[in-house]
């Protein structure tokens, strides 16, 4: 049947398969892109885990004799192993062929990192290996993060580790969404020939033969688009990775460069998912069509009918009879245009929401980050395990050309009790500690225990800070940030700060008793000043825990009290200012010099303000580009469907138009009808999206406390209008081509048509 | 030899007050090689009868046997295969596949069985129907009369037990009507084809050996050539 019928049909009706081809291409492209990007995200994550945590799959710790280690090495599924002492030093690799005797053979605390031939053997064989080596189950450990990347979960792993399942879920959702969207293209193509399949059925074609024929046709129509879409998807995922590397490459601290990879298995999975998606999309209408009785099918003239009487009052009111006819025609074509409507509405909605969301996010980031910290920092260096007291390189950095000021600071956490009488009147006016959660404020005898974050500045910077706030420079005490926000006002963007403590009764000369969290140990620190002014640091204070009482203290004082208070967070921060009107090139040069100065001595990460600002801009642009690309692809499905529909007008609607013509409708009247149809089709996404966008954006602005006027001043009207105009333009073009074909219809010929009953 | 037998055949559409009895207890027997015309006005039930005999529709009750096969026992696939091999259908509006040539249209029932036509038989049909020179044409390149000849050729290609023709001349002018009727009679005579012709045109019906008249779903007369047997 395929040879006899479908081949010639496809050859002679290339345009009728256009929508199917476009749908198949875009489906293959999207799924291939998705699979390619997911595979590379997965690969990157595996590489990151291996780089940061090592590539071992399970581990046994304990005291092992050389014989036991040898036994482990000889275990069938073990590919490789690394034996280390407990401190992580003296590691030796023990491949199957390269066993090296360890030391003098004495037993010591040893860790054996195990690498297996197959990931599937890890959970099953590790307990056996541990037993073989005489280790208890408690002495075994699994690399949960790495194993989870291969969908291997150990029951004792508490983390959800949803990355891989999330990839699978998104692919599944994408596949299902595509089925919903593209199966209509097949419906349209197949339904156009119900009458012909009725003829086949009447001369003895079985339902199975009809279904097979339709599926073979779909396979032929989709073969090239699937291959082309898959290849384009692979190229697209390569492009996205390259784009990501260009945007983020080397500029995000701790990020390693992503190298594009493509496993044959991914190609297999992608092809399988694509073919399955398209097959289901084709099978649904093919199955339905094959189940029609010959009588039902043969009576089908392909003409669009209204199932029940419906009036298009609004269109009739605005555009007269042509409006009513256009409205009825659109209702009759509702099924045929479902793909177009859905994909155009979704694409426009997604694009609009994305643009609005990005704009809101951009305003928020700019206000809360870039503008707020514009003059506060130029370069930030994070020194891992740095100790402010011992950090001598600060003077070398200060001496570097182009450096205006450097602050080295650490952070630590302490607790402090605030007594009732210390609370300011302003704070009392909004209820004191009555709104505080027990997790941050604890009621104790005589007051409330609050968190007291300590910001430990290098001595020189602390003295500068004293000058900044107008107190005599002194290293013997702390400066306390005496501010608390009005906790009853949730507007985080326009925070109303009031004095925290009543400095009238607890002014200078008092002490702050700082306690080690979870301990009875404490230290008395003289308070130099309570102030609302903070040092110029890229820090936010009391943002989550509003009741924090922040203390700034010099590192020399911290050295004296750290024994009682405890250790800091282990990281030392360097805030560097490079002078006014500094350029990106100057900052990059300075950053390089600082990095090279610290290289070899410390593990550091550095960032600079202008670079970060530009990076942020590029990230947003990249995200818009990728997401916008998806929206365009989605819109293309819809536009392809509209073209396919309008190009089939002569076949599908000639009787309808012939009737109109026989009643005296002029080509101009029909042109108007087409314009109305195009306008409704292209206008629907706008009508659906705009009210929704207004509601969603209203909520979003309310939640983010951005003023409507501020948003409107930067609202993405232009890109949204361009997207809308593109949809309108393509739909108008499709209808224009349809109208041009319809104008060629000969009234006499159509009225003579044998099936026109 | 009896090739077709209908017993108490009934077909109703709709339900309740909207119920319409298209066929109401039809009993009919046709012998092999007979040329029977079924006459009736529009809405009399004659097309419904043809659709049931052609297995494109199912009766509400009653039994139909064609060439020994009880049609009620056939599932959809078996019905399609039965239609392909045992019944030839000719419609008023030809129902040719517009994208296939005349040759392929004619051979389609065989192609569905992955069979090739017997060249001699194929030549005999197309030459007797006068379409030998149009085999490579597409249906829209043919006149109405020629398209109907192709439809007849298609219905005969499998040597069906029964040829069912539904108003085959309803869409043709007098000249073509004459020619198509001649073709049907020729195939009846030369191929001993059993033919059941549905028409509302008395002139056309008079070409048959036997004329059955249906009214409101009942057979009201069954007239053999020169002899009228009143059933009412």
Q: Residue A303's pLDDT is what?
A: 52
CA distance A564 to A175: 60
**Would the CB atoms of A754 and B171 count as touching at under 8 Å?**
yes
- Span of A147-156, A520-529, B64-73 with lowest mean pLDDT: A147-156
Q: Are A476 and A556 in contact (CB under 8 A)?
A: no
Following DSSP, what letter does each residue of B152-219 receive, concatenated? HHHHHTT--SEEEEESTTTTS-HHHHHHHHHHHHHHHHHS---EEEEES-HHHHTTSSEEEEEETTEE
What is the per-residue pLDDT across A439-452, written as a single tens digit (0 to 9) for each? 888 888 888 999 99
- Span of A322-326, A365-369, A468-472, B165-169 with lowest mean pLDDT: A365-369
Q: Å from A757 to nearest chain B CA?
A: 11
Tell me the C-alpha to C-alpha distance, in Å, between residue A370 and each of A163, A362, A366. 31, 10, 5
CA distance A210 to A201: 8
Whether residue A454 is predicted with pLDDT greater than 90 in this model: the reply is yes
Find the angle CA(B36)-CA(B37)-CA(B41) to the nearest 5 degrees: 155
CA distance B230 to B223: 8
Mean pLDDT of A597-624: 82
Chain B residues within 8 angstroms (CB to CB) of chain A: 51, 54, 56-57, 76-77, 80-85, 89, 91, 93-100, 104, 107-109, 111-112, 144, 154-155, 158, 171
Q: Are A279 and A293 in contact (CB under 8 A)?
A: no
In three-state form (DSSP H/G/I as H, E/B as E, the rest C), the secondary structure along A197-259 is HHHHHHCCCCHHHHHHHHHHHHHHHHHHHHHHHHHHHHHHHHHHHHHHHHHHCCCCCCCCCCC
Q: Are A347 and A685 in contact (CB under 8 A)?
A: yes
Q: Is A330 left (phi over 0), alpha (psi -120 to 50) or beta?
A: alpha
Domain boundaries along the sequence of chain B? 2-230
Q: Å from A291 to nearest chain B CA?
A: 9
Q: Residue B210's pLDDT is what?
A: 92
Taking contacts as CB-CB distances below 8 angstroms, the residues of chain B near A753 are none
Whether residue A17 is predicted with pLDDT greater than 80 in this model: the reply is no
What is the per-residue pLDDT across A169-215, written as a single tens digit (0 to 9) for each? 777 877 777 777 677 778 777 777 787 888 888 888 888 888 888 88
Q: In DSSP terms, which residues pair with B210 in a beta bridge?
A: B36, B224
What is the per-residue pLDDT across A641-693, written as a single tens digit (0 to 9) for each? 787 777 766 666 777 777 777 667 777 778 888 899 899 988 989 999 989 98
On whether any CB of chain B is under 8 Å from the CB of A671, the answer is no
Predicted-complex ipTM score: 0.77
CA distance B134 to B143: 11
Q: Residue A647's pLDDT is what?
A: 72
What is the per-residue pLDDT across A247-271, written as a single tens digit (0 to 9) for each? 766 556 566 777 888 888 888 988 8
CA distance A348 to B44: 56
Whether residue B231 is predicted with pLDDT greater than 50 in this model: the reply is no
Tokens of A53: 């945590």
Q: Are B108 and A203 in contact (CB under 8 A)?
A: yes
CA distance A269 to A167: 13
Which residues 295-314 of A have a C-beta within 8 angstroms of B? 295, 298
Q: Residue A4's pLDDT is what?
A: 67
Of B84, B104, B144, the CB nearest to A203: B84
Non-local (6+) Cβ contacts of B64 within 8 A are B4, B5, B6, B7, B9, B52, B53, B70, B71, B72
Mean pLDDT of B200-204: 85
**Would the CB atoms of B76 and A206 count as touching at under 8 Å?**
yes
SS3 A641: helix
**Would the CB atoms of A298 and B100 count as touching at under 8 Å?**
no
Taking contacts as CB-CB distances below 8 angstroms, the residues of chain B near A293 are 56-57
Q: Residue A756's pLDDT is what?
A: 34
Q: Give the chain B residue whose CA is nearest to the CA of A210.
A: B112
Tokens of A433: 């500690």
Among A548, A538, A569, A542, residue whose Cα is nearest residue A412: A569
On whether any CB of chain B is under 8 Å from the CB of A9, the answer is yes
Q: Residue B62's pLDDT is what?
A: 92
What is the per-residue pLDDT across A216-239, written as a single tens digit (0 to 9) for each? 888 888 899 999 999 999 998 888
Select the more confidently predicted residue: A629 or A87. A629
Domain B2-230: homologous superfamily in CATH: P-loop containing nucleotide triphosphate hydrolases (3.40.50.300)
Indicate the burial class of A678 (C-beta count within 10 angstroms; 0-12, 13-18, 19 or more): buried
On whether any CB of chain B is under 8 Å from the CB of A650, the answer is no
Of A9, A203, A755, the CB nearest to B99: A9
Pick from B84, B144, B145, B164 the residue to mutate for testing the A interface (most A CBs within 10 Å): B84
CB pairs under 8 A between A and B: 83
Of B80, B85, B93, the CB nearest to A205: B80
* Tokens 């659109």, located at residue: A330
What is the per-residue pLDDT across A567-583, written as a single tens digit (0 to 9) for each? 777 789 999 988 778 88
Whether residue A97 is predicted with pLDDT greater than 80 in this model: the reply is no
Of B104, B144, B154, the CB nearest to A203: B154
**Would the CB atoms of B93 and A755 count as touching at under 8 Å?**
yes
């Amino acid at each position: 049947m395929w040879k006899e019928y479908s081949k010639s049909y496809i050859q002679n009706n290339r345009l009728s398969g256009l929508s199917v081809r476009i749908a198949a291409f875009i489906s293959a492209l999207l799924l291939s892109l998705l699979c390619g990007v997911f595979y590379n995200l997965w690969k990157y994550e595996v590489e990151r885990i291996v780089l940061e945590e090592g590539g071992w799959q399970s581990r046994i710790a304990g005291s092992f004799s050389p014989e036991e280690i040898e036994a482990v090495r000889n275990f069938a599924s073990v590919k490789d192993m690394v034996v280390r002492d407990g401190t992580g030093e003296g590691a030796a690799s023990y491949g199957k062929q390269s066993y090296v005797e360890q030391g003098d053979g004495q037993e010591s605390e040893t860790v054996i990192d195990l690498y297996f031939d197959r990931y599937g053997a890890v959970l099953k064989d590790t307990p056996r290996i541990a037993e073989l080596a005489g280790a208890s189950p408690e002495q075994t450990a699994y690399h949960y993060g790495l194993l989870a990347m291969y969908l291997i979960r150990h029951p004792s792993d508490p983390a959800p580790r949803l990355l891989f399942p999330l990839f699978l879920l998104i692919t599944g959702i994408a596949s299902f969404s595509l089925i919903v969207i593209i199966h209509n293209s097949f419906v349209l193509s197949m339904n156009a020939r119900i009458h012909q399949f009725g003829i086949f059925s009447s001369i003895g074609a079985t339902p199975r033969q009809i279904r097979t024929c339709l599926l073979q046709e779909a396979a032929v129509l989709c073969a090239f688009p699937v291959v082309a879409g898959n290849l384009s998807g692979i190229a697209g995922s390569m492009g996205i990775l390259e784009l990501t590397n260009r945007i983020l490459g080397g500029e995000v601290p701790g990020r390693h460069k992503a190298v594009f990879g493509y496993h044959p298995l991914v190609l297999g999975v992608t092809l399988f998912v694509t073919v399955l998606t398209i097959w289901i999309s084709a099978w649904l209408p093919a199955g339905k069509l094959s189940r029609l009785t010959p009588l039902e099918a043969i009576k089908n003239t392909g003409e669009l009918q209204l199932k029940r009487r419906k009036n298009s009052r609004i269109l009739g009111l605005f555009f007269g009879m042509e409006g009513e006819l256009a409205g009825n025609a659109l209702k009759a074509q509702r099924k045929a245009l479902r793909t177009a409507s859905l994909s155009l509405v979704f694409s426009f909605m997604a694009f609009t929401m994305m643009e609005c969301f990005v704009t809101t996010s951009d305003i928020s980031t700019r206000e809360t980050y870039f503008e707020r910290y514009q003059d506060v920092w130029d370069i930030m260096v994070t020194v891992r395990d740095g100790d402010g007291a011992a950090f001598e390189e600060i003077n070398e950095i200060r001496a570097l050309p182009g450096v205006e000021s450097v602050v080295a600071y650490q952070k630590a956490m302490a607790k402090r009790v605030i007594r009732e009488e210390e609370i300011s009147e302003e704070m009392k006016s909004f209820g004191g500690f009555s709104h505080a959660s027990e997790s941050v404020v604890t009621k104790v005898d005589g007051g409330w225990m609050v968190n007291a974050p300590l910001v430990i500045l290098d001595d020189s910077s602390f003295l500068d800070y004293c000058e900044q706030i107008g107190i005599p420079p002194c290293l013997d005490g702390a400066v306390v940030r005496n501010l608390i926000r009005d906790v009853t006002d949730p507007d985080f963007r326009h925070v109303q700060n009031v004095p925290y403590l009543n400095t009238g009764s607890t002014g200078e000369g008092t002490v702050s008793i700082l306690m080690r969290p979870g301990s009875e140990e404490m230290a008395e620190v003289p308070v130099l000043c309570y102030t609302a002014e903070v040092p110029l640091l890229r820090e936010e204070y009391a943002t989550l825990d509003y009741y924090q009482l922040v203390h700034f203290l010099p590192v020399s004082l911290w050295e004296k009290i750290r024994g009682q208070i405890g250790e800091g967070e282990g990281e030392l921060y360097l805030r560097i200012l490079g002078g006014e009107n500094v350029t990106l090139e100057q900052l990059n040069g300075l950053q390089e010099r600082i990095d090279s100065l610290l290289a070899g001595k410390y593990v550091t990460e550095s960032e600079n303000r202008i670079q970060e600002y530009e990076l942020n801009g590029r990230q947003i642009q990249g995200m818009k580009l990728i997401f916008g690309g998806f929206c365009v692809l989605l819109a293309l499905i819809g536009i392809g469907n509209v073209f396919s529909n309008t190009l089939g007008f002569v076949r599908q609607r000639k009787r309808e138009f012939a009737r109109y013509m026989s009643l005296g409708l002029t080509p101009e009247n029909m042109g108007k009808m087409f314009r109305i149809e195009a306008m409704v089709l292209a206008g629907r996404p706008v009508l659906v999206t705009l009210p929704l966008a207004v509601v969603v954006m209203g909520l979003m602005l309310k939640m983010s406390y951005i003023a409507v006027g501020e948003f409107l001043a930067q609202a993405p009207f232009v890109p949204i209008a361009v997207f809308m105009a593109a949809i309108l333009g393509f739909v108008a073009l499709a209808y224009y081509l349809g109208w041009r074909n319809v104008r060629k219809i000969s009234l006499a010929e159509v009225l003579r048509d044998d099936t026109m009953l | 030899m009896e090739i077709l037998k209908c017993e108490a055949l009934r077909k109703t559409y709709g339900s309740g007050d909207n119920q319409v009895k298209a066929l109401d207890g039809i009993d009919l027997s046709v012998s092999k090689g007979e040329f029977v015309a079924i006459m009736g006005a529009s809405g009399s039930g004659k097309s419904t009868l043809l659709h049931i005999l052609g297995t494109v529709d199912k009766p509400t009750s009653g039994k139909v046997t064609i060439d020994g096969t009880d049609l009620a026992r056939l599932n959809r696939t078996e019905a399609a295969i039965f239609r392909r091999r045992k019944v030839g259908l000719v419609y008023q509006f030809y129902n040719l596949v517009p994208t296939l040539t005349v040759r392929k249209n004619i051979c389609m029932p065989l192609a569905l069985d992955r069979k090739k036509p017997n060249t001699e038989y194929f030549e005999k049909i197309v030459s007797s129907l006068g379409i030998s020179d149009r085999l490579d044409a597409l249906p829209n390149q043919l006149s109405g009369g020629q398209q109907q000849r192709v439809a007849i050729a298609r219905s005969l290609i499998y040597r069906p037990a029964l040829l069912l023709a539904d108003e085959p001349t309803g869409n043709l002018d007098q000249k073509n009507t004459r020619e198509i009727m001649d073709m049907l009679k020729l195939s009846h005579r030369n191929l001993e084809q059993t033919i059941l012709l549905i028409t509302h045109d008395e002139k056309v019906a008079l070409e048959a050996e036997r004329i059955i008249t249906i009214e409101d779903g009942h057979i009201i007369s069954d007239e053999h050539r020169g002899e009228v047997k009143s059933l009412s």
